[in-house]
Amino acid sequence: MTQSPVPGVTFQTIETNGINMRIATAGDSGPLVLLVHGWPESWYSWRHQLTGLSAAGYRVVAPDMRGYGKTDQPAAVADYDMNHLTADLVGVLDALGEGTAAIVGHDWGAAVAQHSALFYPERFTGLVMMSVPYSGRAAQNPLDVMRKSAGENFYYIVYHNESGGVAEQEYDGDPRGILSRLYLSPNSPREAPAITDPKRAAGGWIPRLGAPKGLPDWLSQDDLDYYVAEFEASGFQGGVNYYRTFALNWEQTADRDDFVIKVPSMFFAGSEDIVIGGASRDALQNMMNPHFADLREVTLVPEMGHWIQQEDPQATNEAMLSFLKDC
């Protein structure tokens, strides 16, 4: 198996929920912390947390999620629904011989972590959600709402749901182009975008994102090269398939009557994260409170953006360790 590029982090492949999954691990003992990455990312997104949390006495595991990296990529879109994704993570605990773990998720990983804690509260001792807040089940099919809101204009989630796999074809054709444009800080200087027409008919996503004038200080050329190589090998279809399950996930929870997360939880994000749209700490706390039995903290790090665990690993690790010691 390929050697990990991060000292102190090792790889192994486990079987979980019918697939082979590559996991990155650090620390031989201590309470288990499971780190769940988002799109378009990798176990590598957690390189600073794998080393930082294991040094503090935790056993830390970051999988390549279903469809990513060296983990299997089922062909069917339905194999990427929330039932599969959450069962994958319970299977990680089982494969490691662990009864429980704290779970941490960022971006799409936050949604998967939230639902893991919701569906399997007996297996997760605490939940750290990053960037994506939780508000229970939507009143309407979320994909229908997004399509109506976008209309004829480009919106990346609607684009990911177009037929024919147009999104992954674009990204597979230029992995460095999409990743280098997404992995930036809020104030990173960019070239002018090639497409400024908001209409979807004007083109795909990469030309709408101005090319970076340089890498942010938290991302080295070696870091970017590693990400690019992972997606050159795996392609983007698996990750894009997560976006194709919005309607399915919504439909599958129609008969569920309890969407309150019971395990101790915290929310953590950069104040400039585009996902929270400028919401204040108090606004996020008030929005999420009804959906948690024990929401202990909402923390926003000033001036930081979407890739918070890489942009400010020290603040991220400190916040996580402060929360985890009471879980």
Beta-carbon contacts of residue 108 (< 8 Å; ≥ 6 apart): 37, 38, 39, 65, 132, 239, 242
Q: Is 107 a catalytic residue?
A: yes
Name the catalytic one among 81, 107, 273, 312.
107
Residue 20 CB neighbours (<10 A) = 11
User: Which amino acid makes up residue 173?
Assistant: G
What is the identity of the amino acid at 168?
E
- Residue by residue, DSSP assigns 121-136 as TTTEEEEEEESS----
User: Catalytic residue at 72?
Assistant: no
List 37, 106, 306, 312, catalytic entry: 306
CA–CA separation, 117 and 127 (whole Å): 7
- Phi first, then psi: give them for residue 38, nearest 5 degrees: -110, -155
Q: Using CA atoms, how far apart are residues 68 and 205, in angstroms rounded to an integer?
A: 20
* Cα 209 to Cα 235: distance, rounded to the nearest angstrom: 20
Separation of alpha carbons 208 and 229, rounded Å: 23
Query: Edge-to-edge strand order for the sheet containing 10-16?
Result: 10-16, 19-26, 59-63, 32-36, 101-106, 124-130, 265-270, 295-301
The region that residue 133 occupies, defined by phi over 0 for left and psi between -120 and 50 for alpha, beta otherwise, is: beta
Catalytic residues: 107, 306
